Amino acid sequence: MKKQNKNNGDTCRRTFIKQSTLASLGFMAFTQHALRAKDASGFSENASYDLKLIPDNNGYLDLPEGFSYKIISKAGEKMNDGFLVPGRPDAMGAFQGNTKNRVILVRNHENNPEPLVDSPFGKENELLTQIDSALLYDAGKMQKPSLGGTTTLVFNERKQEVEKQHLSLVGTNRNCAGGITPWGTWLTCEEDVTSAEGSVEKDHGFVFEVSALEQGIASPIPITGMGRFNHEAVAVDPNSGIVYETEDRHDGLIYRYIPNVKEKLLEGGRLQVLALKNRHSLDTRNWDGPLLPLNEPMEVEWLDIDDVLSPKDDLRIRGFEMGAARFARGEGMWYGENEIYFVCTNGGPNKHGQIFRYRISSDEGNENTGSAPATLELFAESMDKNVLHMCDNLTIAPWGDLMLCEDNGELNHLRGIKPDGTTYTFATNISSTSEMAGAVFSPSGKTLFVNLQENGDTIAITGPWKNLS
């Protein structure tokens, strides 16, 4: 096996690949419809409808009639670069490949240095000597390397088969979620704030950028300006180039990063925290009364925060003391047409989850010029775990529905919310208590990719999507 070298890609290949914007286009349909009045569940009066899921004879995944799934990648399989598919797949980004039928998936892996069962380097890390240590962000002194990162898959949509897969970022910790960028890259986030000590060579808690164009392993350069904290997901406003960030903590904040140069995140920028005008240090979690009401837009202001490398892991504490709003485990986040949706996994009186909508200012990043302010509203809040139970990753279907992955440690589903506010269950994991993660549609809209994290499986779902529109 040859040592893997960084591949900077061929510039001419950039003409053959583009970032998938299908999901964002789908979001336009979603956000252009007004929701009906909502009941106590936080959803519409006609709270749900039944898709009549068909029991899977294989005891794996229940889906509606006419839909089918295929496991396309499993943890432990040998990849084309000679390494193994890492375990615990999480969020993913889908990009158009160099032909009509090819889809490129960049997939996160939420792994720590242990257990080794999830390692791309084998049960005893015996393959670690086959990689250049400079390609690992944290090599753990080549004894206990960080085992998170990303893999990249090239998927033939016509054949519904993976053509090749390989490591694309290595040596990071707990790569949970992230987000696609308008310039064709995947931002992958560490949900970990381990500090350099002992065998740990570097501080963790950063965002890294991975290009879907690259065939090899990306340079492991942290975007330090985006802050050091328990990162979860990001969303990028294509107009301003501003990146929004969630924090997976019970007392987390919402951040935004204003880069000095649009699309050049490594060249520095300004980190800010979200606050509500005239509502200093608002607790949005609704764990105690009085409750934050549904669908009432609140004016937003953004506060600069310093010491973003946060050696004490106290950004959220300092931000809240400054006046920033507090959220209950901010996780999945997605950009729509001039607005961003994000979920709070255990928000609400019953801790079943919340969905927020952020409406972008007409002069985002320069609000002090007197332009209309951005607003934030509590879009939905689950009071019934049979409707929605601890949502995590989210995406948008081509026909405009919001699709949410559950992560509750019990029975996990892929739930949908239609533009009129009705909800439905699209899939149920009956094989394990694992969360469903990383749901994302192919650029053509024909295939929905999703991970069953603890199973170590990536699956492709196809079927009569028009029946859901």
Averaged pLDDT score across all residues of the chain: 90
pLDDT of residue 378: 96
Check residue 318 and report its DSSP letter. H
Query: Which stretch of 27-36, 103-112, 195-204, 333-342 has the lowest confidence by average pLDDT?
Result: 27-36
Asked if the model's pLDDT at residue 12 lies above 60, the reply is: no
Asked if the model's pLDDT at residue 166 lies above 90, the reply is: yes
pTM for the predicted model, two decimal places: 0.91
pLDDT of residue 469: 83
Task: Report which of 244, 248, 40, 6 is spatially closest to residue 131, judged by C-alpha positions.
Answer: 6
- Is residue 96 within 8 Å of 103, Cβ to Cβ? yes
pLDDT of residue 336: 84
Query: Which stretch of 64-78, 315-329, 389-403 has the lowest confidence by average pLDDT?
Result: 389-403
Query: Which stretch of 218-232, 298-312, 372-386 has the lowest confidence by average pLDDT?
Result: 372-386
Asked if the model's pLDDT at residue 45 lies above 90, the reply is: no
pLDDT of residue 462: 98
Band (pLDDT 50/70/90 cuts) for residue 31 is very low
Band (pLDDT 50/70/90 cuts) for residue 117 is confident
Q: What's the number of CA atoms in the CB half-sphere (13 Å) around residue 175? A: 33
Q: Which residues contact 405 (CB under 8 A, 6 or more apart)?
A: 332, 391, 392, 393, 394, 412, 414, 435, 436, 437, 438, 439, 450
The stretch 66-83 carries a mean pLDDT of: 98
Domains detected in the chain = 23-73+171-468 (2.120.10)
pLDDT of residue 39: 53
What DSSP string describes 26-60?
HHHHHHTSPPPPB-TTSSBSS-B----EEPPTTSS
Convert the pLDDT of each residue in 310-320 to its tens digit: 999 999 999 99
Burial of 2 (0-12, 13-18, 19+ CB in 10 A): exposed
366: number of Cβ within 10 Å: 12
The stretch 13-35 carries a mean pLDDT of: 33
Question: CA 104, CA 102: separation in Å to the nearest integer?
Answer: 7
Q: What is the CA radius of gyration of the chain?
A: 21
Asked if the model's pLDDT at residue 388 lies above 70, the reply is: yes
Question: CA 95, CA 88: separation in Å to the nearest integer?
Answer: 21
